[in-house]
Copies of this chain bind each other. A is one copy, B any other.
């Protein structure tokens, strides 16, 4: 294998993972060579259920901020929030030129506009019929790939240490609905001369065969639109413009008007229309506000909520509390998206609620060809590996067990185990003279953002919320008479979320007694933090013994 290196260079190429190898979401990768850094993606993650009151999770930007002088640009690989959604939080701190396909730039602009960050941000459109671009010592070329959002690209980074292919979320689709197929000729061309490493999507590593084509869904939509006597509702991811296009087309064929419901869905359709992906006359669309007055049997509602989000359009419809839309007789709801880990329960709850309202609900468990994944399966992975033939494989966009499954798949086609690098967040790989070495490199601290999108949630606050959510809080107010220099012989006790206070008088009496004993014992002391500490420990032991529970205990001293 030969690499494009003029001579054995001294510097190594670094790849640093800020997020995305094991969390599916929150993708952010840093490539560094000498005094040049190029970033790939800047995505948000969604919190697990332990992160109470957290709406989104950001990658740790510290390394980027500390090395901002080196950063030549950020490439956004495709138009999904887990690849670009954290950009506003980065760009409000530093300005970095953005490189992406046209559609992606439109999605990003919508996001930045909300935060008044549009001015001064430089957008550079990547056209897969052209290329490459040069960023410092990096030359970056790109080629069409397929995914569940159009204009997704794969990337070939030429560096003095060799060529690295960076191919996030992809599949091979030979009959995409509006895109062109994966450009395997260009990919092969860029791989000529040898590829050092392939960083690529492993999410489908446990699924056999090839992922189906987006096109396979059209017939299903057509049939349901034809045979349904009432309203049709279709929900999918709002970025999935090709799915929306098929729903629109099936509706028009069957004489149905289209209502777009939900802000994200309307934004997405707006971008789709602007870029020519939805070339349909406006007469086919009805504003949500006017939908009520039309014949419901002639309407298709395309709505957000495919992951069971309670506040989405479909969420409100399923609870029968949507202002403008109600489920009526003979209506059909189609879920054209499969739940991801973490939202199964929400989705099935929503299906149950819609069923109770009288709708017929169709979803992947009971009907084929309602959804195809945007992610390749084992067959796709093996094909890409053979097109690119890299020395090293770096699985991304999965979980620890999916990386391992991908590794086993690659070993089955002859890749050596030591040439598959399973990286965790904060890990770095250095490439030098064709040899890769893996290091633990950074301690990353994720940043938690609340539902306003503005405030950072402190880890201390989160820890308290966890305690509060399980056993509530118990506040003991100790009253200190500063003239007599002693504690009063009574305390105020209040609690929330602990035990039901009305039923616990004897317990409270006993708690008060214990506290007063403690206070007596510390008569002379004015070391309040110590007194509070003793009260807290006493109550902790007391409640644990009496109730089996340990609320968050908060002693407060009030001077009067």
- A residues with a Cβ closer than 8 A to B are 22, 48-49, 52-53, 206, 341-342, 344-345, 348, 351-353, 355-356, 361, 365-366, 399-401, 404-405, 450-452, 454-455, 458, 460-462, 464-473, 475, 477, 479, 481, 488, 492, 494, 496-500, 503, 547-549, 552, 554, 556, 558, 560
- Measured between beta carbons, the chain B residues less than 8 angstroms from A348 are 341, 399, 401
- Distance from A40 Cβ to chain B, minimum over Cβ atoms (Å): 24
B472 near A465: Cβ-Cβ < 8 Å: yes
10 of the cross-chain contacts (CB-CB < 8 Å) are: A344-B344, A352-B401, A361-B404, A454-B548, A455-B499, A455-B547, A462-B497, A465-B468, A465-B472, A468-B469
A461 near B500: Cβ-Cβ < 8 Å: yes
B341 near A345: Cβ-Cβ < 8 Å: yes
A345 near B496: Cβ-Cβ < 8 Å: no
A477 near B556: Cβ-Cβ < 8 Å: yes
Known contacts A469-B468, A473-B468: A548-B450 contact under CB 8 Å: yes
B477 near A472: Cβ-Cβ < 8 Å: no
- Distance from A451 Cβ to chain B, minimum over Cβ atoms (Å): 7
Known contacts A472-B468, A554-B475: A498-B548 contact under CB 8 Å: no
Task: Identify the closest chain B residue to A478 (Cβ).
Answer: B558
- Distance from A399 Cβ to chain B, minimum over Cβ atoms (Å): 6
Main secondary structure of the interface of A (DSSP, over half): mixed
Q: Report how many copies the assembly holds.
A: 2
- Measured between beta carbons, the chain B residues less than 8 angstroms from A404 are 355, 361
Task: Identify the closest chain B residue to A471 (Cβ).
Answer: B53
How far is A116 from B206 in the complex, measured between Cα atoms in Å? 49
- Measured between beta carbons, the chain B residues less than 8 angstroms from A479 are 558, 560
Task: Identify the closest chain B residue to A49 (Cβ).
Answer: B49
B498 near A461: Cβ-Cβ < 8 Å: yes
A468 near B454: Cβ-Cβ < 8 Å: no
- Measured between beta carbons, the chain B residues less than 8 angstroms from A500 are 458, 460-461
Residue from B345, B451, B465, B471 within 8 A of A49 (CB atoms): B345
- Measured between beta carbons, the chain B residues less than 8 angstroms from A405 are 366
B552 near A496: Cβ-Cβ < 8 Å: yes
A351 near B494: Cβ-Cβ < 8 Å: no
A469 near B206: Cβ-Cβ < 8 Å: no
A206 near B365: Cβ-Cβ < 8 Å: yes
- Measured between beta carbons, the chain B residues less than 8 angstroms from A355 are 400-401, 404
- Measured between beta carbons, the chain B residues less than 8 angstroms from A353 are 400
- Measured between beta carbons, the chain B residues less than 8 angstroms from A460 are 500
Residue from B365, B450, B472 within 8 A of A461 (CB atoms): B472
Residue from B342, B344, B464, B549 within 8 A of A497 (CB atoms): B464
B492 near A554: Cβ-Cβ < 8 Å: no
How far is A412 from B556 in the complex, measured between Cα atoms in Å? 68
B461 near A497: Cβ-Cβ < 8 Å: yes
A496 near B477: Cβ-Cβ < 8 Å: no
- Measured between beta carbons, the chain B residues less than 8 angstroms from A465 are 468-470, 472, 497
Residue from B49, B356, B451, B558 within 8 A of A400 (CB atoms): B356
Residue from B451, B499, B503, B548 within 8 A of A451 (CB atoms): B548
- Distance from A405 Cβ to chain B, minimum over Cβ atoms (Å): 6
- Measured between beta carbons, the chain B residues less than 8 angstroms from A361 are 401, 404
- Measured between beta carbons, the chain B residues less than 8 angstroms from A352 are 22, 399-401
How far is A355 from B361 in the complex, measured between Cα atoms in Å? 38
- Distance from A546 Cβ to chain B, minimum over Cβ atoms (Å): 11
Counting from the closest, the 3 A-B pairs by CB-CB distance are A560-B560, A469-B469, A452-B548
Most buried by B among A48, A341, A401, A458: A401
Residue from B356, B467, B471, B492 within 8 A of A558 (CB atoms): B492
- Measured between beta carbons, the chain B residues less than 8 angstroms from A473 are 468, 473, 496
A475 near B556: Cβ-Cβ < 8 Å: yes
